[in-house]
Amino acid sequence: MVFFLSVMCILTGVSMASTIPFIDKEWELWKLMYGKSYPNLEEDQARRGIWLDNLEKIDAHNAQYLQGNTMYEMTMNQFGDLTPMEFANLYTDARISEMVNYTDDALFGFEMEELEEMEEINDLPQEVDWRKMHYVGKIKDQGMCLSCYAFTAVGALEGQLAKKKKQLIELSVQNIIDCSDEYRNFGCRGGLPYHAFQYIRDHGIESEQSYPYQAKKNDKCSFNNSKSVIKIKGFRRIKNYSEKQLAAVIRRVGPLSVLICSAHDSWRFYKSGILDNADCNNKKIDHAVLLIGYVDEHPTGYWIIKNSWGTSWGERGYIRLVKGKNMCKITHCASYPII
């Protein structure tokens, strides 16, 4: 018995020793892939520990995926060296939950349009995907700037403009970041899509070409009215609809700006498949994305969402959320511009 235990200890030691160089190699490759560097060895090793913890969580989840116990796969990505709290602070905006409850007409002195009519929810098509109509722009990366609200507002407006003019024109996210402070947006510290719509209603918006994205807030707003592409007439906000009603709206209108919960590992490390995780529903609203369609198929329907975390995240920048469960609180608040 003593001999057997000794052999087992030796074999275990060999296994661990052989694993460490492999992990070290993977760590170095990951840093190279995402351009990561740290000021000293101590910080490097601390980040390696966080990365390894995340990798173990991803591997454990994917083992369940391979056994058919879950419908989505996770992967290591650019967020791998962050703790859950660090990720939430850097890439999500916890204030959205509180901000969305503000009374906008009192703040801005005009009545916000609310969608009151009942949407037709019968005979909906099995699939709506506005990418197929070329109403959806390319995937962007917001970087270290909490500008999701501006990306989704611009995305919804690009869709409406493409629908009207039959041409997709990229509009300026940076314009919103730099210039909409008086509408209770906060540059790279967060905001709300329909606050961006209010700014565009009053001032207009430039193209991405004339006012390109910088992933930071500049000290001065550089909006040039002569380069404005469009002013909108107003916007509509849709709160707490059923999922069938939301599907009816997206079929009739086009891409919608929606608020969801994202400070969860299922979102952070999402790779592919249909995300169905009840824990996502227990989080606060903290992120804004563009809802571009849905698919109702047996046995699992899903929503199609465009994110602003670059093409290396998710399904080339997109994510599919299971339908029928209000996953990640997708029906909480949607909005779109009127042109």
pLDDT, tens digit (0-9, with 9 covering 90-100), for 56-77:
999 999 999 999 999 999 999 9
309, 317 Cβ separation under 8 angstroms: yes
Question: b/e string for 150-163 if b means 16 or more Cβ within 10 A?
Answer: bbbbbbbbbbbbbb
Sign of CA dihedral 127, 119, 279, 93: positive
pLDDT, tens digit (0-9, with 9 covering 90-100), for 262-320:
989 999 999 999 999 998 888 889 999 999 999 998 889 999 999 999 999 999 999 99
DSSP state of 320: E
Helix (H) or strand (E) holding 128: strand 127-129
Question: What is the chain's alpha carbon radius of gyration, rounded to the nearest angstrom?
Answer: 22
**Active-site position among 54, 175, 277, 307:** 307
Domains and CATH numbers, the chain: 2-73 (no CATH), 84-338 (3.90.70.10)
**Active-site position among 54, 61, 77, 148:** 148
264 is catalytic: no
**Active-site position among 185, 287, 328, 333:** 287
143, 186 Cβ separation under 8 angstroms: no
pLDDT in tens for each of the 339 residues of the chain?
433 333 333 333 333 334 667 788 999 999 999 999 999 999 999 999 999 999 999 999 999 999 999 999 999 999 999 999 999 999 998 778 667 665 444 444 344 444 445 556 778 999 999 999 999 999 999 999 999 999 999 999 999 999 999 999 999 999 999 999 999 999 999 999 999 999 999 999 999 999 999 999 999 999 999 999 999 999 998 877 889 999 999 999 999 999 999 989 999 999 999 999 998 888 889 999 999 999 998 889 999 999 999 999 999 999 999 999 999 999 999 999 999
Q: CA 235, CA 256: separation in Å to the nearest integer?
A: 11
245, 116 Cβ separation under 8 angstroms: no
| Beta pairing class for 270-275 and 318-322 | parallel
| Three-class DSSP category at 297 | coil
69 is catalytic: no
307 is catalytic: yes
